[in-house]
Amino acid sequence: MNREIKFRAWHTVEKKIVKRVTTIDPPKKSYILMQYTGLKDKKGKDIYEGDIIMYEIDDYLPPNNKTYCVVKIGEYQDDYLNDWYYGVYEETVKDTITETDSDVGKIKPFAVGYDDMEVVGNIYENPELLEEKDD
Protein backbone atom coordinates (compact mmCIF):
# COMPACT_ATOMS: atom_id res chain seq x y z
CA MET A 1 0.00 0.00 0.00
CA ASN A 2 1.40 3.37 -0.99
CA ARG A 3 0.79 6.27 1.32
CA GLU A 4 1.14 9.87 0.29
CA ILE A 5 3.89 11.51 2.32
CA LYS A 6 3.26 15.15 3.11
CA PHE A 7 3.68 17.56 5.96
CA ARG A 8 2.27 20.75 7.35
CA ALA A 9 3.94 22.89 10.01
CA TRP A 10 3.07 25.10 12.96
CA HIS A 11 4.96 28.39 12.73
CA THR A 12 5.79 29.11 16.36
CA VAL A 13 6.49 32.82 15.78
CA GLU A 14 3.54 33.70 13.54
CA LYS A 15 1.22 31.27 15.38
CA LYS A 16 -0.28 29.76 12.24
CA ILE A 17 -0.39 26.53 10.27
CA VAL A 18 1.71 26.38 7.11
CA LYS A 19 0.14 23.89 4.71
CA ARG A 20 1.92 21.82 2.09
CA VAL A 21 5.41 22.12 3.46
CA THR A 22 8.07 21.10 0.97
CA THR A 23 11.17 22.68 2.49
CA ILE A 24 11.84 24.50 5.70
CA ASP A 25 14.03 27.56 5.46
CA PRO A 26 16.11 28.58 8.48
CA PRO A 27 15.47 29.21 11.28
CA LYS A 28 14.09 25.68 11.60
CA LYS A 29 13.40 26.15 15.30
CA SER A 30 10.39 28.30 14.42
CA TYR A 31 8.56 25.37 12.78
CA ILE A 32 7.03 22.22 14.24
CA LEU A 33 6.41 19.60 11.55
CA MET A 34 3.26 17.47 11.51
CA GLN A 35 3.16 14.41 9.25
CA TYR A 36 0.09 13.29 7.30
CA THR A 37 -1.16 9.91 8.57
CA GLY A 38 -2.54 8.76 5.22
CA LEU A 39 -6.03 8.73 6.76
CA LYS A 40 -9.09 10.94 6.40
CA ASP A 41 -11.95 11.78 8.74
CA LYS A 42 -15.68 11.29 8.02
CA LYS A 43 -15.76 14.51 5.96
CA GLY A 44 -12.72 13.55 3.87
CA LYS A 45 -10.33 15.89 5.71
CA ASP A 46 -6.70 14.77 5.93
CA ILE A 47 -5.63 13.67 9.41
CA TYR A 48 -2.23 14.92 10.58
CA GLU A 49 -0.08 14.28 13.61
CA GLY A 50 -1.19 16.79 16.26
CA ASP A 51 -4.82 16.83 15.13
CA ILE A 52 -7.55 16.50 17.72
CA ILE A 53 -10.22 14.03 16.69
CA MET A 54 -13.63 13.48 18.22
CA TYR A 55 -15.84 10.44 17.92
CA GLU A 56 -18.85 8.95 19.62
CA ILE A 57 -19.07 5.34 20.70
CA ASP A 58 -22.70 4.36 21.14
CA ASP A 59 -22.23 0.59 21.22
CA TYR A 60 -22.09 0.19 24.98
CA LEU A 61 -22.07 3.72 26.40
CA PRO A 62 -24.77 6.31 27.06
CA PRO A 63 -25.84 8.40 24.03
CA ASN A 64 -23.84 11.51 23.15
CA ASN A 65 -20.61 10.16 24.63
CA LYS A 66 -17.80 12.12 23.00
CA THR A 67 -14.16 11.09 23.10
CA TYR A 68 -11.37 13.52 22.16
CA CYS A 69 -7.96 12.18 21.17
CA VAL A 70 -4.68 13.64 19.95
CA VAL A 71 -3.23 11.88 16.89
CA LYS A 72 0.45 10.98 17.24
CA ILE A 73 3.07 9.12 15.20
CA GLY A 74 5.95 7.23 16.76
CA GLU A 75 6.78 4.42 19.14
CA TYR A 76 4.13 3.73 21.76
CA GLN A 77 3.06 1.19 24.33
CA ASP A 78 -0.57 0.16 23.94
CA ASP A 79 -2.29 0.61 27.33
CA TYR A 80 -4.67 -2.26 26.58
CA LEU A 81 -2.33 -4.92 25.13
CA ASN A 82 0.82 -3.71 26.93
CA ASP A 83 2.95 -4.28 23.82
CA TRP A 84 5.24 -1.83 22.00
CA TYR A 85 4.47 -0.62 18.47
CA TYR A 86 5.51 2.03 15.97
CA GLY A 87 2.92 3.88 13.93
CA VAL A 88 -0.11 6.10 14.22
CA TYR A 89 -1.72 6.12 17.66
CA GLU A 90 -4.10 8.21 19.72
CA GLU A 91 -3.95 9.52 23.25
CA THR A 92 -7.33 10.20 24.85
CA VAL A 93 -7.36 13.69 26.34
CA LYS A 94 -11.01 14.17 27.21
CA ASP A 95 -14.25 12.21 27.22
CA THR A 96 -17.74 12.41 28.63
CA ILE A 97 -17.73 8.96 30.17
CA THR A 98 -18.07 8.58 33.93
CA GLU A 99 -14.79 8.83 35.81
CA THR A 100 -14.57 5.08 36.51
CA ASP A 101 -14.91 4.21 32.80
CA SER A 102 -12.87 7.11 31.42
CA ASP A 103 -10.07 6.53 28.90
CA VAL A 104 -8.36 9.88 29.58
CA GLY A 105 -4.61 9.39 29.45
CA LYS A 106 -4.88 6.04 27.66
CA ILE A 107 -2.79 5.30 24.58
CA LYS A 108 -4.04 2.91 21.90
CA PRO A 109 -3.72 2.24 18.16
CA PHE A 110 -5.44 4.88 16.08
CA ALA A 111 -9.23 4.34 15.90
CA VAL A 112 -9.45 3.80 12.15
CA GLY A 113 -12.70 1.87 12.40
CA TYR A 114 -14.90 4.66 13.74
CA ASP A 115 -17.08 5.99 10.91
CA ASP A 116 -18.01 9.16 12.79
CA MET A 117 -14.42 10.22 13.56
CA GLU A 118 -13.95 13.93 12.87
CA VAL A 119 -11.00 16.33 13.02
CA VAL A 120 -12.18 19.13 15.32
CA GLY A 121 -8.90 21.05 15.58
CA ASN A 122 -5.25 20.65 16.42
CA ILE A 123 -3.10 21.01 19.53
CA TYR A 124 -1.62 24.35 18.43
CA GLU A 125 -4.63 26.32 17.19
CA ASN A 126 -7.21 24.79 19.54
CA PRO A 127 -5.59 24.03 22.92
CA GLU A 128 -8.93 24.71 24.63
CA LEU A 129 -10.19 21.38 23.24
CA LEU A 130 -7.66 19.64 25.47
CA GLU A 131 -8.99 21.17 28.68
CA GLU A 132 -11.52 19.50 30.93
CA LYS A 133 -14.67 21.54 31.45
CA ASP A 134 -15.63 22.40 35.01
CA ASP A 135 -19.21 21.47 35.83
For 6-17, how does the pLDDT look when each residue is reduced to its tens digit (9 = 90+)? 889 999 889 999
CA distance 107 to 122: 18
| φ/ψ of residue 111, rounded to 5 | -80, 70
- pTM confidence score: 0.78
Give the least confident one: 4-18, 20-34, 37-51, 74-88. Answer: 20-34
Could you tell me what percent of the chain has a pLDDT over 90? 18
Judge whether 110 and 37 are in contact, CB under 8 Å.
yes
Average pLDDT, the chain: 77
* Domains detected in the chain: 39-128 (2.30.30.290)
Which pLDDT score is estimated for 134?
A: 47
Q: Which amino acid appears at position 52 of this protein? A: I
Judge whether 47 and 71 are in contact, CB under 8 Å.
yes
pLDDT in tens, 116-125: 789 999 999 9
